[in-house]
Amino acid sequence: MARMIDVAEKAGVSIKTVSRVLNNEPHVKDALRERVRAAAEDVGYVPSSPARALRSRRSYAIHMISHSHRSAYVNAIQFGAVQTCQERGYQLMVSLMEDLRDMPEADLVARFERLVEASKPDGLILVPPLSNDERLYHVLERFDVPVARVGPNNLPDARIIVKINERAAARELTAHLIALGHSRIAFVRGKEDQNATHERFAGYKEALDQSGLVLDETLVHPGDFGFSTGLKAGDALFALADRPTAVFAANDDMAAGVLMAAHRLRLDVPGDVSVVGFDDSEIAEKMWPALTTVRQPLLAMGNEATRQLIDAATQSDPALSGAPNEYLDYEIIHRDSTGPVRQS
User: Which partner from the list a copy of itself, DNA, none does 20 bind, CB cut-off 5 to 8 Å by kind?
Assistant: DNA
Peptide bond preceding 324 in cis form (omega within 30 of 0):
no
Instruction: Evaluate whether 277 touches 284 at the Cβ level (below 8 Å).
Output: yes
Rule CB under 7 A: choose which of 51, 96, 179, 239 binds DNA.
51
CB atoms within 10 A of CB 109: 17
**Whole-number minimum distance, CB 84 to a copy of itself, in Å?**
11
101 binds DNA (CB under 7 A): no
Q: Is 127 helix (H, G, I), strand (E, B) or coil?
A: coil
Bridge-based pairing of strands 274-276 and 246-249 is: parallel
Encoded one letter per residue, x for contact with DNA by CB under 7 A and - for no contact, window 1-30 reads --xxx------xxxxxx-xx-xx--xxxx-
Exactly one of 41, 48, 138, 211 binds DNA (CB under 7 A); that residue is 48
Category of 221 on φ-ψ map: left (φ > 0), alpha (ψ -120 to 50) or beta: beta
Should residue 288 be labelled a site residue for a copy of itself when binding is judged by CB under 8 A? yes
135 binds, among DNA, a copy of itself, none (CB under 5 to 8 A by kind): none
Cβ atoms within 10 Å, residue 317: 6
Sketch the per residue contact string, 233 through 272, with a copy of itself: x for CB under 8 A, - otherwise. --------------------x--xx-xx--x---------
Alpha-carbon distance 230 to 282, whole Å?
17
Site for a copy of itself in 93-132 (CB under 8 A): 93-96, 110, 113-114, 117-120
Residue 22, C-beta contacts closer than 8 angstroms, at least 6 positions apart:
4, 36, 40, 45, 47
C-alpha distance from residue 342 to each of 244, 263, 268, 305, 338 (Å): 12, 17, 11, 44, 11
> By the criterion CB under 7 A, which residues form the site for DNA?
3-5, 12-17, 19-20, 22-23, 26-29, 32, 45, 47-48, 51-52, 54-56
What is the contact surface with a copy of itself in residues (CB under 8 A)? 1, 44, 46-51, 53-54, 59, 61, 70, 72, 75-76, 78-79, 82-83, 86, 91-96, 110, 113-114, 117-120, 227, 253, 256-257, 259-260, 263, 282-283, 285-290
